[in-house]
């Protein structure tokens, strides 16, 4: 077999990939770009303001986006200058479309904040670095604690479990 035929056998087809920015952000300060690289594979890249990137490729676009979100969340947990502010903005993004009746970020109180939705309250205690969910108990007219987790132990799945409890 001559060299030209052998070379042609190993030259792959050129694939033109167009990255498209998503309209709805899924993580504060991160831009998400998606591309269909082949007929059944999606490549997702997320880039933050400082240029850090996370990426995932999967046959399911939504699954690839969730994997990128998971990686970006882990990056923010390790490197964010203001973890509390990041979690506040992320909570509001995740609760978008829900009836958020009250929200408050308090930078003067160690960056503490809370969000009230569906008679439940998500609270970040900036002094003790704890995230907790409370339920409003009608018959006692007070807030009862449902779950608390230290920020240093907070994983992506833990956070989403707390958000799902708010819905």
Express each pLDDT in 22-74 by its tens digit: 546 788 999 998 888 887 899 999 999 999 999 999 999 899 999 999 999 99
Is there a single domain that holds both residue 24 and residue 60? yes
Q: Is 163 helix (H, G, I), strand (E, B) or coil?
A: helix
- Range of lowest pLDDT (12-16, 69-73, 74-78): 12-16
Q: Which residue has the tokens 């993580």?
A: 27
Contact assessment for residue 66 and residue 99, using Cβ atoms and an 8 Å cutoff: no
Residues 6 or more apart from 98 whose CB is under 8 A from it?
117, 118, 166, 167
Q: What is the pLDDT of residue 21?
A: 52
Rounded distance between C-alpha atoms, residue 29 and residue 81, angstroms: 13
Is there a single domain that holds both residue 21 and residue 67? yes
Domain boundary among 15, 45, 79: 79
Is there a single domain that holds both residue 121 and residue 64? no
Is there a single domain that holds both residue 112 and residue 155? yes
Is there a single domain that holds both residue 113 and residue 54? no
Residue 93 has pLDDT above 90, yes or no: yes
Is there a single domain that holds both residue 42 and residue 94? no
Count how many domains the chain has: 2
Domain boundary among 45, 79, 113: 79
Rounded distance between C-alpha atoms, residue 66 and residue 72, angstroms: 10
Is there a single domain that holds both residue 157 and residue 87? yes
Is there a single domain that holds both residue 106 and residue 123? yes
Local structure of residue 145 (DSSP, 8 states)? E
Residues 6 or more apart from 113 whose CB is under 8 A from it?
84, 88, 103, 104, 105, 106, 123, 124, 126
pTM: 0.80
Is there a single domain that holds both residue 51 and residue 92? no
DSSP letters along 74-131, please? HHHHHH-S-HHHHHHHHHHHHTTTS-EEEEEEETTTTTEEEEEETTEEEEEETTTTEE
Q: What is the pLDDT of residue 76?
A: 94
Vertex 141: Cα angle to 128 and 115 (nearest 5):
45
Range of the domain at 9: 3-79
Radius of gyration, alpha carbons of the chain: 21
Residue 152 has pLDDT above 70, yes or no: yes
């Amino acid at each position: 077999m001559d060299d030209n035929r052998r070379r042609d056998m190993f030259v792959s087809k050129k694939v033109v990939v167009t990255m498209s920015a998503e309209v709805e952000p899924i993580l504060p300060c991160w831009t998400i770009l998606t591309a269909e690289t082949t007929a059944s594979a999606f490549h997702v890249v997320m880039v933050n303001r400082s240029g850090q990137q996370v990426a995932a490729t999967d046959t399911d676009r939504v699954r690839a986006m969730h994997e990128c979100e998971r990686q970006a969340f882990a990056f923010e947990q390790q490197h964010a200058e203001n973890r509390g502010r990041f979690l506040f903005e992320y909570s509001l993004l995740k609760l978008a479309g829900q009836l958020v009746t009250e929200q408050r970020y308090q930078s003067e109180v160690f960056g503490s904040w809370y969000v009230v939705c569906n008679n439940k309250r998500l609270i970040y205690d900036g002094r003790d670095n704890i995230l907790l969910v409370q339920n409003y108990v009608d018959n006692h007219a007070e807030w009862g604690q449902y779950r608390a987790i230290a920020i240093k132990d907070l994983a992506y799945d833990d956070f989403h479990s707390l958000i799902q409890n708010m819905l």
